[in-house]
Structures are given as structure tokens and as C-alpha cells.
Structure 1
Amino acid sequence: MKKYTFPICTFIYLCFFLSAHAQQTMPLTSSSDDAKKLVGSGMMHLVNVEYEEAYDDFDDAVKLDPNFALAHFFKGRLSFGESRTKCFAMAQQAAANTTDAEKLLVSVADTSLNQKGRHEIFAKLHDMYPEDPVLEDFYVMSEPDSTTRVKLLEEQVAKFPNSPEVYNQMGYYYMMARKDNTKAKECFEKYLAMYPDGYNPYDSMGEYYLNTGDKENAKKYYLKSLERCPSSFSSQTKYQELTKDDKK
């Protein structure tokens, strides 16, 4: 199990994130404070699309507290096949001894739900804890209608200007939907400035440069991402594709 060592910017971000949880956001029911810290770290990575690090955090949290419902739930969201099914089953079983909010979040694991059904659950959670930045992210990104989702995203940026991940989402919106590369770059640069110790900001900058045809800068930023997380699947795939001709 990994030790809790974070670069200073990540540590500050995590402290802000966890202090918010202590005051006004959804509770985390666990017998282990270290497991709670890991789930907090995992959710930070999750909303920043750093799935590899998020999975490791949730997996370690489960090892510390096998009855931690949300650790099983989030691990399940990042798993596949039988592992996913097992994680969700354990989350639902463990949720019996948690708060109503945690039970509601775990109910998202119901495979019969469509996107609208999942969004309705996140909307209820959002109403319960309107100051929770992670629940806000789930609420916004689960919105089925793309036009409404953009409006909610703009409101999210205004509401949580100190949350780095919202600038990543806005960057992709400008780059992919609006075809406004100037605005997209501004958002990605702000994301990187706010979260320099993460690896997804570099992956997003790589995506921006790849999308604008600047393969050399794309390679540079994908490599920076891999320096921070060698297991990043997205950066690995793109970097290998961009450098395959260099090896001939």
C-alpha cells in the first residue's frame, strides 16, 4: 500500500478538498481515518480524470477498511466485468450502515439506470450538499442534454473558481464544441497553473497541441504527463502513436 506523500501543490489542493468535506459536503463513513484520506485523494484524482491514481487510492482504502461503502463504489466505477460487479455488490452491502446520502450515491451502481436516472440521483445529492465540489461535478457531467450541461458547467466555474478540474472541462468544451482554440488554451493553461503536480493537466495540453496540429509540443506534454504517472493510459497511447515514426 502506498504511503501518503504528496507534492506540495497536490497536498494543498487535497487539504482544501478534505476541509470542505469536513464542513459542508457529503460525509464519508469509515472506521479508518487513513481510508477516508485515500478516498478524498481518489475523488480528487477522479474528477481530474486521473483514473490510474484514483483506482490505486480506492483500492488501498478498501484494504484499510473492507466495509467502506464509498471506497468499494468508486473502485467499482473504475473496474470492469466481474470485478465491477463484485465491487458494487460490496458497496451496496456496506452502505446499509452509512448515511442516506451515501446510500443514495451507491444506488447509482444500479445497472438498470439510464443516464437520465443517474442524473436524477446526482441532482438529489446536489440538493442535499450544494457546496460539495465533487457532487457538483457528477451532477453537471451527468446531465443528458448537452446544451443544459454547458450552462451548468458555466455556473460551476463561477461557483467553484478554485477547483482546477472545471477549467479542464471548459477547455474541452471550447476546443471540441466551440472550436475556439484560443479560449481552450487559456482554460488548459489555467488548469495547469492551478494543478501543476497532477498528470492530467499535461495530458490535456498534449491533447490541445495534438488537436491544433503541433505534434512536437504534443509529445512534450504527453511525456511530462508520463513523468508524473508512467501508467497513464491516455498519455502512453498518444505518446507511442506520435513517436512510432521516430523509432524507424
Structure 2
Amino acid sequence: MKALFTGIVLLLGSVATVSAQDYYLPVSSTSKAAVASLHRASELYSNIHFKEGKVELDKALAEDPNFFMAHVYAVQYAPKADRPELIDKALAIDATNFNEAEKIMREWIGKWKADSTAKAGESMNALIAAYPKTPQALEWASLHAFYTDKNLDGALDYAQKLAVISPEYAPNYNILGYLYMEKKETEKAKAAFEQYIKLAPKEANAYDSMGEFYLINKDYAKSAELYDKAAAMGLADAKERADKARAMIK
């Protein structure tokens, strides 16, 4: 399943896998529990566990109601109709002690408040310039380029750079797979989805995405097989997609 960012890393450093802590942009919250919940929410959202991710995000905000980056997540993943209220809550937080990442994201959601169709490219470029070795900066830039700005080339560039600096970060290969499919680069798309499965064999979404790849490429039997696996792993709506694929087998 294509990852949904419903508000929706120029990296010359080491290609070694970064630690979980080093993956994320800095935050000003002093609540360790809130930060830990936000990090869990981020991982869940990235693997398309939206319901579970929202639970963790709510925990983060319960621990620290003024946790600005948690509010940023809420804004970015919210349905469009809910976004204005959430933006207002985020912008109401005292920005006196914000770090540079928070200042950039505050400016960005301020642009969204003024214009719901505003492009994110300028803000994401500023984020990467400020944090050139922080993978999350590239992930957000890639997602916004893909979903907010409809800039496939920019999204692909960011995702490729993220794969260099954080090669073990599985969800990035899901985005890469869809980007390559959009650009009709079939073999690269297949390789990206295979890497997602390799790195995240217990994630139902990895098999669901591969099922979609085979569906688009008209291998309906293989598509149904992968959708069935995703359904068996708990992705309920994959069963409907499996049935659709089977119905297309001649």
C-alpha cells in the first residue's frame, strides 16, 4: 500500500546505519516518555499502522501537551478537514525556546494555514540544509515532495539519498518502490519492494505493496498470493485486493 502522508536525507557522511535516536530531528520537549511515544508513532505511521500510530501520538501529546513536533505529526497526518484546528493548536505553542528544526516546521505549517495548497519544497530544503545528516529530514522532504508538491524527481532524489545514509530504514524502500513505479522503472521498483520485505519481513504492508506491484504488472496470481499474505498478517483490506487480483486471472 502506498504510504499516505495526508497533510500530506546532500548527504556525504557515513553510510553506516544510524541509531534510532540519531534518525530523528531534535525536539525541545523534556519528557522522555513523550519523545519515546512520538518515535514509536513515527515508525508505526511509516509502516502504515495509522490507528496504532495515532494511539502513540496521543500518548505523546498527553505526556506533553506543548510537544510541538508531536503537533506537527498530527497536522501532517490529519485529514484535510481537521488540519486547520490542529494547525492553530500547534501555532499557539510558545516558540521562544524552539530549535532550528521546530522553527522551520513552524514556518511551514504557518504557510499551510495561510494557503492549504502551499508547496513544501522551500521549507524542506531549509530543513535539509540545517540538518544534512539527519535521516528524518530527508524522509519528510521525500514525502512532501511526493505527496504535497507532486514533484517525483525531487522525491526520488531525497529517497535515494536517505537510502545511502540509512540503508536499513525499511519504509523508505516502500516510497522508492512507488516512485520508481510512477516513473515506469519496473525493475528498480521491484528491487525496492523486495528490499522492503527483506528488511521488514514482519510488516504486512511490505507484502501488500509488492502485491500492488504485481497487480499493476498483470501477474495476478502472484499479486493475490502476496495480498493473501498481507491479509493473514492482519492487514484486513488486503483480502479484498487479493479477491480482486484472483478475479482478473484468465
Confirm or deny that 1:162 pairs with 2:168: yes
Name the count of aligned residue pairs. Answer: 225
Match of 2:105 in 1: 105
Match of 2:10 in 1: none
Counterpart Cα distance in 1 of 2:28 and 2:232 = 34
After TM superposition, the structure 1 stretch with the greater mean CA deviation from structure 2, 84-93 or 149-158, is 149-158
Match of 1:26 in 2: 25
Q: Quick one: which amino acid aligns to residue 178 of structure 1?
A: K
What does residue range 194-213 of structure 1 map to in structure 2 within 5 Å?
A: 194-213=199-218
Match of 2:197 in 1: 192
- Cα RMSD (Å): 3.0
Could you give the per-residue CA deviations for residues 160-183 of structure 1, whole angstroms, max 9, x where no partner exists? Answer: 322223322222233331242x33
Counterpart Cα distance in 2 of 1:172 and 1:82 = 26
Structure 1 pair 26–152 and aligned structure 2 pair: CA distance change class (3 A): closer
What does residue range 39-78 of structure 1 map to in structure 2 within 5 Å?
A: 39-78=38-77
Contact 1:164 1:191 in 2 (8 A): yes
Q: Quick one: which amino acid aligns to residue 99 of structure 2?
A: T
Q: Which runs of 4+ in 1 moved over 6 A?
A: none
Could you give the per-residue CA deviations for residues 85-130 of structure 1, whole angstroms, max 9, x where no partner exists? Answer: 2222222222525323213213322323577741111111111111
Q: Give the structure with the larger helix fraction.
A: 1
Counterpart Cα distance in 2 of 1:18 and 1:92 = 28
Match of 1:94 in 2: 93
Match of 1:123 in 2: 125
Structure 1 pair 132–160 and aligned structure 2 pair: CA distance change class (3 A): same
Q: How far apart are 1:82 and its partner, in Å? A: 5.3
Match of 2:241 in 1: 238
Which one of 174, 191, 205 corresponds to residue 180 of structure 2?
174
Confirm or deny that 1:220 pairs with 2:225: yes
Counterpart Cα distance in 1 of 2:135 and 2:245 = 35
Contact 1:95 1:103 in 2 (8 A): no
Could you give the per-residue CA deviations for residues 125-167 of structure 1, whole angstroms, max 9, x where no partner exists? Answer: 1111111112102223434543344344433333332222332
Q: Give the TM-score normalised by the residue count of structure 2.
A: 0.74
Contact 1:165 1:191 in 2 (8 A): yes
Q: Secondary structure at the match of 1:83?
A: helix
Structure showing greater relative contact order (alpha-carbon pairs closer than 8 Å, 6 or more residues apart): 2
Structure 1 pair 52–202 and aligned structure 2 pair: CA distance change class (3 A): farther
Q: Quick one: which amino acid aligns to residue 94 of structure 1?
A: I
Structure 2 residue runs without a partner (length 5+): 1-16
Counterpart Cα distance in 1 of 2:125 and 2:162 = 14
Contact 2:152 2:179 in 1 (8 A): no
Structure 1 pair 224–30 and aligned structure 2 pair: CA distance change class (3 A): farther
Counterpart Cα distance in 2 of 1:172 and 1:213 = 16
Could you give the per-residue CA deviations for residues 64-90 of structure 1, whole angstroms, max 9, x where no partner exists? Answer: 222211112212222225532222222
After TM superposition, the structure 1 stretch with the greater mean CA deviation from structure 2, 188-197 or 166-175, is 166-175
Could you give the per-residue CA deviations for residues 185-212 of structure 1, whole angstroms, max 9, x where no partner exists? Answer: 2221111111223232122111112112
Q: Secondary structure at the match of 1:94?
A: coil
Q: Quick one: which amino acid aligns to residue 196 of structure 1?
A: P
The percent identity for this pair of structures is: 23
Confirm or deny that 1:132 pairs with 2:131: no
Q: Quick one: which amino acid aligns to residue 209 of structure 1?
A: Y
